[in-house]
């Protein structure tokens, strides 16, 4: 249990009458790369967005490094006493308090998120994009944040672009900046929401290379993608989702080469 970094437990999520997640369980161990595959509408992006609380869950819970996301548990003394008198155990004692936005924002600094459309701040330079969150959310000294930012830009191969504006970069370069921006907070886990889907085919490789490099240094990552080759090469665990549930999961070899489930086979035959 101790090395479980991300714990998703029985998560349900509906948008109005549409039930997008129907009881998802997922466990990601520290230092592992989990790749989530599935047809569009299977709920994989929504699942990713519930992990950093961009979407609130309707049922179930999520914890990262043992910390509950979006809620705080408190012991309700009266309920605990009643439970102990009745001998019903302490499980139902206590309450879940919804966290205030300020506390949620603080939790999110531990969770890096990379968007399909990059979402860089277009009015800020590349360096300012990287420095903004560490300075304002973590209260790092600007000088330190800039040093870290330069080091990260070097790591993603964009050391010469510090003063460029995002629109002056190619899509691949923008996504690499976005990855560096997420890393600037030194998160415990990195979430990628289809990081290469908005890119021209010839730019996909440079972004995947950066993610592979991160994987080799033991960063905990959950990647939603359609790149099966990437999943085979990098993933420790491949998760196949369809219809708001996890259909099957296992090693890349098990899920991609010998899928046990008919729906997985049907999906893979279409994309491979």
Partner 1 sequence: MGLSTDSAAAPPGTAAPGTDPGTPPAKNDLASLKVVPARHYARWVAAVAVIVLVAQFAHGLITNPVWEWQVFSDYVLSETIVKAVGVTLQLTAYATVLGFLLGTVLAFMRLSHSPVLQTVSWTYIWIFRSIPMIVQLVFWFNLSALYDRLGVGIPFGPVFWSVDSNSLIGTMGAALIGLSLHQAAYAAEIVRGGVIAVDHGQLEAAAALGIPKLRQIRRIVLPQAMRAILPTAGNEIIGLLKGTSVVYVMAIGELFYQVQVIYGRNGRVIPLLMVATAWYVVLTSLLSIAQYYVERRYARGANRTPPPTPVQRARRFVRDLRAAAAQRNQPVHPLKSLGADR
The rounded distance, in Å, linking the Cα atoms of 69 and 233 is 30
State the sign of the Cα–Cα–Cα–Cα dihedral 121, 122, 124, 130. positive
Paired tokens of 81 = 């006493």
Instruction: Considering only residues 66 through 105, tell me which ones interact with partner 1, judged by CB under 8 A.
Output: 101-102, 105
If the CB atoms of residues 58 and 107 are measured against partner 1, the closer one turns out to be: 107
Binds partner 1 (CB under 8 A): choice among 15, 56, 67, 137: 137
Paired tokens of 105 = 């924002």
Instruction: Considering only residues 237 through 266, tell me which ones interact with partner 1, judged by CB under 8 A.
Output: none
Are 252 and 235 in contact by the 8 Å Cβ rule? The answer is yes
Examine residue 142 and tell whether it contacts partner 1 (CB under 8 A). Answer: no
If the CB atoms of residues 7 and 193 are measured against partner 1, the closer one turns out to be: 193
Query: Coil, helix or strand for 210?
Result: helix
Are 199 and 171 in contact by the 8 Å Cβ rule? The answer is yes
If the CB atoms of residues 180 and 255 are measured against partner 1, the closer one turns out to be: 180
Site string for partner 1, 32-71 (x = CB under 8 A): --------------------x-x-----------------
If the CB atoms of residues 166 and 195 are measured against partner 1, the closer one turns out to be: 166
Binds partner 1 (CB under 8 A): choice among 97, 123, 142, 260: 123
Binds partner 1 (CB under 8 A): choice among 19, 65, 132, 248: 132
Binds partner 1 (CB under 8 A): choice among 20, 185, 223, 235: 185
Binds partner 1 (CB under 8 A): choice among 165, 198, 226, 232: 165
Beta strands in 65-125 (DSSP E): 67-68, 71-74, 95-98, 111-114
Examine residue 181 and tell whether it contacts partner 1 (CB under 8 A). Answer: yes
If the CB atoms of residues 117 and 251 are measured against partner 1, the closer one turns out to be: 117
The rounded distance, in Å, linking the Cα atoms of 224 and 235 is 11
Q: Of 31-39, 152-160, 179-187, 205-213, which part binds partner 1 (CB under 8 A)?
A: 179-187
The rounded distance, in Å, linking the Cα atoms of 11 and 22 is 7
Paired tokens of 30 = 């520290």
Which candidate, 187, 178, 193, 87, places its Cα nearest to that of 137?
187
The rounded distance, in Å, linking the Cα atoms of 257 and 272 is 11
The rounded distance, in Å, linking the Cα atoms of 263 and 258 is 12
DSSP state of 167: G
Examine residue 14 and tell whether it contacts partner 1 (CB under 8 A). Answer: no
If the CB atoms of residues 4 and 104 are measured against partner 1, the closer one turns out to be: 104
Question: Which positions touch partner 1 (CB under 8 A)?
Answer: 52, 54, 101-102, 105-109, 111, 113, 115, 117, 119-125, 132-133, 136-137, 165-168, 181-182, 185
């Amino acid at each position: 249990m101790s090395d479980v970094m991300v714990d998703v437990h029985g998560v349900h999520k509906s948008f109005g009458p549409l039930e997008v997640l129907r009881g998802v369980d997922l466990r990601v161990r520290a230092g592992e790369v989990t790749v989530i595959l599935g047809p569009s509408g299977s709920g994989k992006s929504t699942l990713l967005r519930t992990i950093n609380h961009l979407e609130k869950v309707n049922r179930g819970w999520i914890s990262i490094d043992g910390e509950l996301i979006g809620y705080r548990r408190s012991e309700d003394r009266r309920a605990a006493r009643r439970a102990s008198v009745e001998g019903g155990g302490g499980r139902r004692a206590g309450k879940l308090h919804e966290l205030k936005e300020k506390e949620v924002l603080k939790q999110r600094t531990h969770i890096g998120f990379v968007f399909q459309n990059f979402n860089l701040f277009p009015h800020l330079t590349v360096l300012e994009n990287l420095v903004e969150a560490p300075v304002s959310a973590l209260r790092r000294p600007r000088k330190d944040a800039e040093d870290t930012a330069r080091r990260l830009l070097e790591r993603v191969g964009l050391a010469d672009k510090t003063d460029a504006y995002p629109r002056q970069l190619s899509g691949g370069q923008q996504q690499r900046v976005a990855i560096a921006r997420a890393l600037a907070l030194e998160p415990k886990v990195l979430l990628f929401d289809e990081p290469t889907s908005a890119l021209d085919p010839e730019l996909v490789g440079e972004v995947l290379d950066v993610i592979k490099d991160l994987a080799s240094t033991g960063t905990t990552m959950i990647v939603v993608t359609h790149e099966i080759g990437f999943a085979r090469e990098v993933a420790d665990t491949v998760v196949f989702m369809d219809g708001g549930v996890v259909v099957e999961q296992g090693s890349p070899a098990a899920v991609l080469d010998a899928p046990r489930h008919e729906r997985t086979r049907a999906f893979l035959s279409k994309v491979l």
